[in-house]
Structure 1
Amino acid sequence: MTSVTTDMIIDSSYDTFDLKFNIDTSNQQYEQGFHFDKEAVKKASAEIKGRLRQNGYKGLVNDNYYKGVGAPVESNWSLDHKLQAANLNWSVDTSILRYGDKLQFFDTNNQAVYRSDTGTLFSVTSDTWTPFQNVDVVNAFDEFCNSAGIEMERLGHLREGRLVFASAVVNESWAVMDTDDIIAARLLLTNSHEYGKGLTAKLNAIRLVCCNGITRKVSIGQRSISHTNGFSKAAVQAILESSKQNFVDLGLLIDKFAQTQVNNREAREILVETLGDRNEEGNLVQYDDQNRLVQSSFTAFANHTSIGAHYETSRGTAWELLNCVTEQINHHSRSAGETHMNSMWNGGKARIESKMVNALALAYVSPSRNKQAQTVGVSAF
């Protein structure tokens, strides 16, 4: 009997984790001349799931979540290798600020900060400010990940290089209601080349069946995460523990959403009230005149056509309604590439997610948990 091995299966080839096999007989013989052992397949399936879980589902997330922005990196790569792979092998330069129709005027107290290879202007600052270089930023990201015991997965830039990011695998996952509806966690570190903006940390919760992502702010209290003098162990651990706690809080809230049935009337009302357009008098316009996001999200909910709607945790629930919205802004938006990811992490799409999570928590989470739900929601962006 031919044995089934997991080495033949590529991690990223799976679109879902609903790995079930309908086999009438345990040893059905195929025309190819080998026997298909049901128990061996079950064992292989379990091993695949275990391997994917152990590496933080890296293949699935790297292939489907980042929309081609940035590049996958390995922890054992050299700093130069990472910079080259992520197209960060350029410098941030400064020059005297000149102006006028013939550039005849100049300001000795201010300077232009720009990208060396493209000339893109990043900022105008005082002449005493020294920008950090990509090599310094990525080295700081490496130092953070090493200190936290996590692995960098993706490295790149947004907004034409103004913002450098690293996404690291937080070896945590959440099975919604203990099912195959899996959510993976990532810690997003960003550093700006613009004056007055420093290092930030956020949590990305990524649903694997559709690679919808929800961005949460990581609370670090009064601890500084400035990389000017390196990271303290206490600050790094505080950020890591905060991200893990935020992930657990979000998972508990999602479990509550997955247990909450929502009918079509309620779904439409929540969408219109939360994300709907208003007229000049400030009143909500009728559903038929509402924006594309409201109508597309409701259509997907009413017809159960969103990715992952086949899960019992999702069908006809507040969790399905949330994913109808996140799918629209994650996968059906008109924006793409760096513009899309910056909006998902730092801009309008992140605010839409936050508003929808808050609205569902206020509408459906029991009074005893309203306080916790609001805290989770408010910290989203």
Structure 2
Amino acid sequence: MAHLVEQMAYVGATPWHGLGKRLTQKQPLEVWQREAGMNWQIQDSPVHFKSDTVGTLGSIHSFPEHKVLYRSDTKAPLSVVSNRYQVVQPREVLEFYRDLTEVAGYELETAGVLKGGRKFWALARTGQSTALKGNDMVNGYLLLATSCDGTLATTATPTTIRVVCNNTLSIAVNGASQAIKVPHSTHFDPRAVKQQLGITVSVWDDFMYRMRTLAERKVQWPEAMGFFMNVLCDTNVHNPIPNVLPNKRAMEKVQSLYEGKGRGSEMESTRGTAWGLLNAVTEYVDHERRARSSEYRMDSAWFGQGAVIKQRALHAALRLIA
């Protein structure tokens, strides 16, 4: 099977079953651009098509309202979009971090290309870090990703990663995601996005205060079952098989992760707590959920249905401490 991750670079531990090129820390963005496979441009061309006519070779017509996007290096087609589509180049994703890494203390940790160039991202550690009880470390990151096929707006997402298990979670405060999305119908302005993000200590402290509260909130088994049911099972859908839970495999897996099989599940912050419930779901989505490959699971966990499940789990956990 072809890899969904076409090329990527990283520092630190090898991610996703050994894919990617490992770099030493503090590399300049130009090295990241080359090693992450982001040293090409998105180019465009008018759309033309051939109409077949019986007995002739057909004729060439144009489709003036649309354009083809293609890679400058391989000339491989990426998508057909409207002429109003605003392209964000791979180098722009890395350039977004230039002042953050050179001045603000951020450090790039991964960057790469998905789906033949139709999606690309970079992830940087912010330098923010918090220890929950029992020295359960959570680090702050900023993920910037975009697409050139309309499947993803250019999105900057403040994210946490729990060190013991590499579970990822997008930061949300008062029920609202802190992600900034720039649709491809408008121009991507990096400075405006950074201002909107308000990459401040107060947002981090507010979110981590809630995570500490989750780590203090003890839950009983019926409460845990209700949590997993609400997050993983659509109980409003008619189930044709009596006494069989919808999404039974997922339920069994997250229960086992919560009850001691999960990485870090025996830590003081996690054992029998709402923080443990949340991490059972995030570990399931990031590392255990069924997918065609680990790359597809990563794509879902960051940008697709997996990300939706994790946010549902976060909202359900926060309701336990409301």
**TM-score of Structure 1 vs Structure 2, range by shorter chain:** 0.7 to 0.9
CA distance in 2, matches of 1:161, 1:247: 32
1:69–1:140 distance in 2 versus 1, CA, 3 Å: farther
Residue 218 of structure 2: SS of its match in structure 1? coil
Say yes or no: does 1:141 pair with 2:97.
yes
1:268 aligned residue (225, 239, 244): 225
- What's 1:331 paired with? 287
CA distance in 1, matches of 2:190, 2:226: 49
Aligned sequence identity (%):
24
When Rg is computed on C-alpha atoms for both structures, the one with the higher figure is 1
TM-score by length of 2: 0.77
Residue 262 of structure 1: SS of its match in structure 2? coil
Superposed, 1:309-324 pairs within 5 Å as 309-324=265-280
CA distance in 2, matches of 1:283, 1:145: 54
Which has the higher mean CA deviation after the structures are superposed, 269-278 or 132-141? 132-141
- What's 1:114 paired with? 70
Q: In the TM superposition, what whole-angstrom CA distance separates every residue of 1:270-300 from its partner, at most 9, and x where no partner exists?
A: 2113321446548997454543222211233
TM-score by length of 1: 0.66
CA distance in 2, matches of 1:118, 1:68: 28
Would the aligned equivalents of 2:126 and 2:142 in 1 still touch at CA under 8 Å?
yes
Runs (5+) with no aligned partner, structure 1? 1-57, 371-381
- What's 2:161 paired with? 206
1:236 aligned residue (194, 198, 218): 194
Residue 97 of structure 2: SS of its match in structure 1? helix
1:268–1:354 distance in 2 versus 1, CA, 3 Å: same
2:141 aligned residue (181, 186, 195): 186
Q: In the TM superposition, what whole-angstrom CA distance separates every residue of 1:186-206 from its partner, at most 9, and x where no partner exists?
A: 111223334697642111211
CA distance in 2, matches of 1:240, 1:168: 16
Match for 2:275: what amino acid?
W
Residue 104 of structure 1: SS of its match in structure 2? strand
CA distance in 1, matches of 2:77, 2:181: 35
CA shift at 1:97, angstroms?
0.7
Would the aligned equivalents of 1:189 and 1:199 in 2 still touch at CA under 8 Å?
yes
2:118 aligned residue (148, 154, 162): 162
CA distance in 1, matches of 2:28, 2:120: 18
Q: In the TM superposition, what whole-angstrom CA distance separates every residue of 1:195-246 from its partner, at most 9, and x where no partner exists?
A: 6976421112111111111123436699xxx8766636xx63653534x433
Following TM superposition, the consecutive aligned residue runs of length 4 or more in structure 1 with deviations greater than 6 angstroms are 282-285
Match for 1:247: what amino acid?
W
1:64–1:348 distance in 2 versus 1, CA, 3 Å: farther
The total of aligned residue pairs comes to 296
CA distance in 2, matches of 1:359, 1:241: 25
1:337–1:307 distance in 2 versus 1, CA, 3 Å: closer
Say yes or no: does 1:77 pair with 2:77.
no
Residue 96 of structure 1: SS of its match in structure 2? strand
Residue 351 of structure 1: SS of its match in structure 2? helix
CA distance in 2, matches of 1:261, 1:272: 18
Superposed, 1:1-381 pairs within 5 Å as 62-63=12-13, 74-77=25-28, 79=30, 81-100=31-50, 104-116=60-72, 117=74, 119-126=76-83, 131-146=87-102, 148-177=104-133, 179-194=134-149, 199-216=154-171, 217-218=177-178, 231=191, 236=194, 239=197, 241-242=199-200, 244-278=201-235, 280-281=237-238, 286=243, 288-301=245-258, 303-335=259-291, 336-362=293-319, 364-365=320-321, 370=322
Would the aligned equivalents of 1:184 and 1:206 in 2 still touch at CA under 8 Å?
yes
CA shift at 1:352, angstroms?
0.6
Runs (5+) with no aligned partner, structure 2? 1-9, 53-58, 172-176
Would the aligned equivalents of 2:87 and 2:148 in 1 still touch at CA under 8 Å?
yes
1:131–1:245 distance in 2 versus 1, CA, 3 Å: same
Which has the higher mean CA deviation after the structures are superposed, 135-144 or 107-116? 135-144
- What value does the CA root-mean-square deviation take over the aligned residues? 3.4
Normalized per residue, which structure has more strand? 2
